[in-house]
Amino acid sequence: MIILGIDPGTIYTGFGVVKYFRNQLSLIDSGIIKTPAVKEMAPRLETIYNELTLLIRKYDPDSFALETAFYGKNVQSALKIGYARGVSMLAAKHNNLDTAEYSPREVKKSVVGNGAASKEQVQYMIKKLLSIRKTKIKFDETDALAVAICHAFKMTSPLKNAGSWKKFVEANPDKVLNR
């Protein structure tokens, strides 16, 4: 399964393309979409849309995942991230890809094991999981890779089809240890 993960932003949009096959992760590509340094939002959004469309056509992913908006104290920032999320979803839809969304907390928990992990901790784990050697890598890039990895783990989780631990145990009694 090839997954395109996105960390949306109106100045920098991070992207990460990973392959997840037989419980093995491998890095295909990652980087940053830097938008034009103009005040108007429309040219920035157009760049994000166009670049994502090119990435989708180049890598032909099976899945498209992005981080949900994080609401902080700055409403304007949340709105701008919402714009970037919208054009990202549109690029996916126009290329017949379903979109999966994960909260920042859920992404951090799946990659680091702690939903309150710092960006540095996420970056460290991404570099270890994907054997990334380059030293200069932006947080937007590692965050996008983390979204892709989170999606890979969620799609292959034994709970995905079961819905809950209780249903999983009921459907798989042979996997339960009895003491």
Whether the Cβ atoms of residue 160 and residue 12 lie closer than 8 Å to each other? no
Q: Is 7 a catalytic residue?
A: yes
Q: Is 140 a catalytic residue?
A: yes
Task: Dig out the tokens for 175 from the structure.
Answer: 């996997």
- pTM of the complete model: 0.85
pLDDT surpasses 90 at 174: no
What pLDDT, on the 0 to 100 scale, is given for residue 8?
95
Q: How many domains does the chain have?
A: 1
Residues 153-173, mean pLDDT to the nearest whole number: 65
Q: Largest Cα–Cα distance of the chain, in whole Å?
A: 65
Residues 54-64, mean pLDDT to the nearest whole number: 97
Catalytic residue of the set 29, 98, 106, 140 = 140
What pLDDT, on the 0 to 100 scale, is given for residue 79?
86
Q: What is the CATH number of the domain that holds 56?
A: 3.30.420.10
| Helical H segments across 15-158, by residue range | 41-59, 75-94, 104-112, 119-129, 139-155
Residue 136 has a CB neighbour count (10 Å cut-off) of 5
Catalytic residue of the set 7, 51, 141, 143 = 7
Percent of the chain that is helix, strand, coil (3-state, to 5) = 50, 20, 30
Question: The domain containing residue 54 runs over which residues?
Answer: 2-175
Least confident of 2-11, 51-60, 160-169: 160-169
What pLDDT, on the 0 to 100 scale, is given for residue 167?
65
Q: Is 174 a catalytic residue?
A: no
Angstrom distance (rounded) from CA 43 to CA 65? 23
Angstrom distance (rounded) from CA 149 to CA 168? 23
Share of the chain above pLDDT 70, in %: 86
Query: pLDDT tens for residues 3-54?
Result: 999 999 999 999 999 999 988 999 999 999 999 988 899 999 999 999 999 9
What pLDDT, on the 0 to 100 scale, is given for residue 157?
63
| Residue of 101, 100, 125 whose CA lies nearest to 111 | 125
Catalytic residue of the set 51, 62, 67, 174 = 67
pLDDT surpasses 70 at 178: no
Query: pLDDT tens for residues 72-124?
Result: 667 788 888 899 999 999 999 999 999 999 999 999 999 998 988 999 999 99
pLDDT surpasses 60 at 161: no
